[in-house]
A = this chain, B = another copy of it.
C-alpha cells in the first residue's frame, strides 16, 4: 500500500464529501455531553445523539459497538475532566498538605455539582462491565492516582497518617464520592437542604475526615 499518501484534512473531506461526517465519533460524544447537561441521563440515547448530530439513527454503529460504548467514551471524558480539576486545585495549595487534600476533595464535589448527570454516567450501572473499556479504566485510574499522589506527599511531609497510600486514597475517595452522590441526589442530611447548609456540611465532613470521630 502507499505509505506516502497523506490523509486528507477533515475540512477537505467535509468539502469534498459532505455525505460523510467529518468526525462522527467525536461529534456523537459532544452531542451526548450536551444531552446529558440539558436533558438528563434518561434522554441520552443513541438515537437522540444521532439526531442532534444530523445523521441517521444507525450511523453511530459505525463508531460505537453499542450504546454502552458511547456511554463508556463519555464516562472516560468525565474522568479526564475530573482529574484535571482535582489536579488544578491540588496545584494551588502545595504549601499545606491537609488543605491541599481538602481542596482536591472540594474540586471533586464541585465537579459533581456542575456535572451531576455526567458523574452518574461515570459511576452508574448502565456501563455493565467497565473492565471491557480499557480507556475508561485508565482514565479512572488516573483520577485515583491524582489522589494517591496528594496522600503520599502529605505523608512525606509528616502531615498525613502512615499507611498504604492506596488504601487511604480509597477511603477518602469513598467519602468524597458519597458526599457528591448524596449531594446531587438531594439526600445528604434529610431536612438540611439549601446549598449554604450543604456547603458547610461538606466542609465540616472533610475536616472531620482529618481529625476523626474519636473525642
Chain A residues within CB distance 8 Å of chain B: 40-42, 98, 101, 117, 120, 123-126, 130-131, 137, 140-141, 144, 158-163, 166-179, 181-182, 185-192, 201, 204-205, 208-215
Interface SS majority for chain A: helix
Contact B40–A204 (Cβ < 8 Å): no
Cα-based distance from A170 to B189 in the complex (angstroms): 5
Given the interface pairs A201-B167, A212-B214, the reply to whether A140 lies near B190 with Cβ below 8 Å is yes
Given the interface pairs A176-B178, A177-B181, A189-B166, the reply to whether A208 lies near B159 with Cβ below 8 Å is no
Contact A211–B208 (Cβ < 8 Å): no
Nearest CB of B to A167, in Å: 6
Residues of B within 8 A of A177 (CB): 178, 181-182
Nearest CB of B to A87, in Å: 17
Nearest CB of B to A125, in Å: 6
Given the interface pairs A166-B189, A178-B179, A187-B140, the reply to whether A215 lies near B160 with Cβ below 8 Å is yes
Nearest CB of B to A40, in Å: 7
Of B169, B178, B192, which contacts A174 at CB under 8 A?
A: B178
Of B41, B125, B174, B201, which contacts A179 at CB under 8 A?
A: B174
Given the interface pairs A173-B182, A178-B178, the reply to whether A209 lies near B209 with Cβ below 8 Å is yes
Contact A189–B144 (Cβ < 8 Å): yes
Given A160-B213, A173-B178, A174-B178: 5 more A-B contacts, CB < 8 Å: A42-B126, A101-B213, A161-B215, A170-B182, A208-B212
Given the interface pairs A170-B201, A187-B140, the reply to whether A41 lies near B125 with Cβ below 8 Å is yes
